[in-house]
Amino acid sequence: MQLNEAVKSVFASGNFTSLDWGIVVIYLLASLIIGVFSNRFIKGISGYIIAGRSLGTALAVATMTGTELGLITVMYSAQKGFTGGFAAFHIAVICLIVTFFVGLSGFIVARLRESQVMTIPEYYEQRFGRRTRILGGILLAFGGILNMGLFLKVGSMFVVGVTGMDPTGGLLTAVMVTLIALVLAYTILGGMVSVVVTDYFQFVVLSFGMLLMVGLTLNRFGWDQMVDVVFQFKGRGGFDPTVSEGGFGFTYMSWQAVLGLVSCAIWPTAVTRALSSRDVKTVKRQYMLSSLSFMIRFMIPYFLGIGAFVFVMTSGGLYKEIFFPEDPSQAVNNLYAMPLFVSHVVPTGLLGLVTAAMLAAFMSTHDSYLLCWSSVITLDIISPLRHRKPITDKGKILLTRVIMLLIGAYIVFWGLFYEGSEDIWDYMGITGAIYFTGAISLLLFGLYWKRASSTGAVLSLLGGFSAVLGLGKVRLWLGGLLGMELTPAHVGLFSLFLSMGAMVLGSLLFPDKQRQSVTEAE
Which are the contacts of 81, defined by CB distance < 8 A and separation ≥ 6? 88, 301, 302, 303, 304, 305, 306, 307, 308, 309
d(CA 499, CA 107): 20
**Is 277 strand, coil or helix?**
strand
Judge whether 196 and 55 are in contact, CB under 8 Å. Answer: yes
Among residues 333, 332, 341, 331, the alpha carbon closest in space to that of 310 is found at: 341
| Predicted local confidence at residue 447, as pLDDT | 93
Q: Which residues pair with 277 in a beta bridge?
A: 55
Helix ranges (DSSP H) in 222-249: 223-234
d(CA 305, CA 395): 45
Domains and CATH numbers, the chain: 5-418 (1.20.1730.10), 421-522 (no CATH)
Judge whether 486 and 479 are in contact, CB under 8 Å. Answer: yes
| Predicted local confidence at residue 221, as pLDDT | 92
DSSP state at residue 266: I
Low-confidence ranges of the chain (pLDDT < 70): 1-7, 31-32, 34-69, 167-169, 186-203, 273, 327-330, 361, 364, 420-422, 514-522
Per-residue pLDDT tens for 160-216?
889 988 766 677 888 888 888 877 776 665 544 555 555 566 667 777 778 888 999
Q: Which residues pair with 55 in a beta bridge?
A: 277
Instruction: Read off the pTM.
Output: 0.82
d(CA 15, CA 167): 17
C-beta atoms surrounding 167 within 10 Å:
18
